Structures are given as C-alpha cells and as structure tokens.
C-alpha cells in the first residue's frame, strides 16, 4: 500500500499517519520528522535546516528529494509507506513522479485532508508531542497538567519550535502559495486524489481514510 498524506500545517497528517501506519504496518515517512531528527543530531544538514524550520520556510527541494528517494528505495520490498509532508512544491511533485517511473515503483494514492485556517492556528498553538511515547496531543485532551494522556509520563510534553504564532502564519502562507497548487499538478500527472474532511473527530477521519484505501 502506497499513500501520500497531503494538507495544510495542522491538518492532522502526522496524527493520521501514525494511526494508519500502525494499523496497516506501513513505513511512516515524514520529511518534517526526518529534518527534525537531523536538527536534534546537530548534523551539518540539521544546522542548515534548523534556520529554515524555525522560520517556517521550506528546505531546498534537492535536499528533501534525496532523503525521500533514498527511503523509498530502501523500503521498496516492504509492505508499503505513508509519505507525510512530501511533495510540497511543484518541483517535488515532478521529482516524485520521475522516481516512481524511473524505479518502477507503484503510484501512491493521495489523501488530501481539508481544514479551515481558523482551526489550524488553534490546533498548532495547542499541539504538544510526548518525548516518551511520541504521541501528538492537543492541550485540550489533558486530564492532568503536564501529564501525557497516552502514556501518563510527566513533564514530557514538548512544544515544537515552529508552533509559535508568527511562524504558524508564515507556514500557512507558504502552504497556500507553494504547496496547495501541487494538488492540481498531481491530478494532471494522473495521481488519484481523495478528499478527506479533516475537521471531523480523529476516529472518523481514520475511518474515512480506511474506507478509501481499502477500495
Ligand atoms: P512538517 O513536520 O511536515 O509540518 P507541517 O506540514 O507544517 O504539518 P504539521 O506537522 O504542523 O501538522 P500535521 O498536519 O502533521 O498535524 P498534526 O497531526 O500534528 O514540516 C515542518 C517543516 O519541515 C516545514 O515547515 C519545512 O520547514 C520542513 N519541511 C518538511 N517537509 C518538507 C518538504 N517536503 N520540503 C521542504 N521543507 C520541508 O495535528 C496538529 C494538531 O491537531 C495536534 O495537536 C493534533 O492532536 C490535533 N488534531 C489532529 N487531527 C485532529 C482532529 N481530527 N480533530 C481535532 N484535533 C486534531
């Protein structure tokens, strides 16, 4: 099973990718997570990427493209993947189409999570990730302050550096200008694009995705 999850910042791509990859035993390939891992490891790439990530700007196409191609080839013979956060420029969409053809890989289905701008700001300002179990949570889900509602660890909920309001607004602008047009380009390249209402409750969104991918 090959999937691309597409949508604005905060649409729920990471949340759904984690659930779906577990359910169907797929590789969750998140370009944002790969870049944040480079930042954390303080590699040369990570140092360059951090400056861009902190401003909500995109990392150059060739860097991200190389990471994605390597991961797709390494996992060619596995059960499949869910690609989260790629492609997000027209150049990246072209590149994905080319590597699929060149390496004779199956064409992924596109899952487009739709959400309103107002919902996005609220979700991202209140998002935290547990450094212990890696769950993505919203502050409104907490039953006790500073306790992860999924694994009950204390003081492990971390706010992403790019979840500050001014950076969120910049990420949304970049999404509108650079990433949203990618959907049309993918349709023209004959990718199957499926719309999923991302403002539904998390379980409903998952069920809608399952219905699409089991078709
Ligand atoms: P990336 O990590 O991909 O960030 P993003 O696309 O901005 O998306 P987010 O991770 O912020 O949101 P999400 O859709 O995953 O939402 P989530 O599930 O967490 O990229 C970060 C940066 O890396 C980029 O800005 C760029 O610099 C760089 N980068 C990455 N890929 C790149 C590329 N291809 N090219 C160049 N640069 C690249 O959910 C958000 C919140 O909402 C959570 O609190 C969650 O609990 C809650 N929530 C989720 N679903 C629901 C629901 N249905 N109902 C209620 N709450 C919900």
Looking at the chain, the whole-number percentage of residues with pLDDT higher than 70 is 100
Q: What is the CA(94)–ligand 1 centre distance, in A?
A: 22
Residues 110-168 pLDDT 10s: 999 999 988 999 999 999 999 999 999 999 999 999 999 999 999 999 999 899 989 99
Q: Check residue 190 and give its pLDDT.
A: 95
Q: CA 116 → CA 8, 121, 215, distances in Å?
A: 9, 9, 27
Residues in the chain: 215
Please name which of 82, 52, 45, 47 lies closest in space to residue 67, comparing C-alpha atoms.
45
156 alpha-carbon distance from chain centroid: 22
Q: What is the CA(126)–ligand 1 centre distance, in A?
A: 13
Ligand 1 pocket residue status of 12, Cβ below 6 Å: yes
pLDDT band per the 50, 70, 90 thresholds, residue 211:
very high
Judge whether 54 and 26 are in contact, CB under 8 Å: no
**CA atoms lying within 13 Å on the CB side of residue 102:** 9
- Could you tell me whether strands 127-130 and 157-158 are parallel, antiparallel, or unpaired per DSSP bridges? antiparallel
Strand partners, 4: 83, 110
Strand partners, 138: 127
* Structure token digits, residue 195: 């719309």
Please name which of 35, 30, 66, 44 lies closest in space to residue 161, comparing C-alpha atoms.
35
Q: What is the mean pLDDT of the chain?
A: 94
Which atom belonging to ligand 1 lies closest to the Cα atom of 139? 44
Ligand 1 pocket residue status of 35, Cβ below 6 Å: yes
Mean pLDDT over 26-30 rounds to 95
pTM of the shown model: 0.94
Q: CA 173 → CA 21, 44, 54, distances in Å?
A: 29, 28, 15
Kindly report the CA angle at 90 between 59 and 80, in degrees rounded to 5? 80
Which atom belonging to ligand 1 lies closest to the Cα atom of 129? 44
Mutate to test the pocket of ligand 1, among 4, 6, 15, 54 (most ligand atoms within 8 A of CB): 15
Strand partners, 178: none
Ligand 1 pocket residue status of 10, Cβ below 6 Å: yes
Q: What is the CA(163)–ligand 1 centre distance, in A?
A: 10
């Amino acid at each position: 099973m090959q999937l691309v999850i597409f949508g604005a910042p905060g649409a729920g791509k990471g949340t759904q990718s984690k659930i779906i990859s577990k359910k169907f035993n797929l590789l969750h390939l998140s370009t944002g997570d790969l870049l944040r891992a480079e930042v954390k490891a303080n590699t040369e790439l990570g140092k360059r990427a951090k400056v861009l990530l902190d401003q909500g700007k995109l990392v150059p196409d060739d860097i991200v493209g190389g990471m994605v191609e390597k991961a797709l080839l390494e996992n060619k013979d596995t059960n499949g993947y869910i690609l989260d956060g790629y492609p997000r420029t027209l150049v990246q969409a072209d590149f994905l189409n080319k590597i699929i053809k060149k390496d004779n890989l199956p064409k992924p289905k596109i899952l487009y999570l739709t959400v309103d701008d107002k919902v996005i700001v609220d979700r991202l300002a209140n998002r935290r990730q547990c450094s212990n179990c890696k769950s993505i949570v919203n502050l409104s889900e907490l039953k006790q302050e500073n306790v992860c509602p999924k694994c009950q660890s204390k003081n492990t909920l971390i706010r992403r550096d790019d979840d500050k309001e001014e950076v969120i607004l910049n990420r949304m602008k970049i999404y509108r200008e650079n990433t949203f047009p990618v959907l049309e380009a993918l349709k023209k390249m004959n990718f199957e694009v499926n719309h999923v209402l991302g403002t539904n409750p998390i379980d409903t969104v998952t069920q809608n995705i399952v219905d699409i991918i089991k078709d």
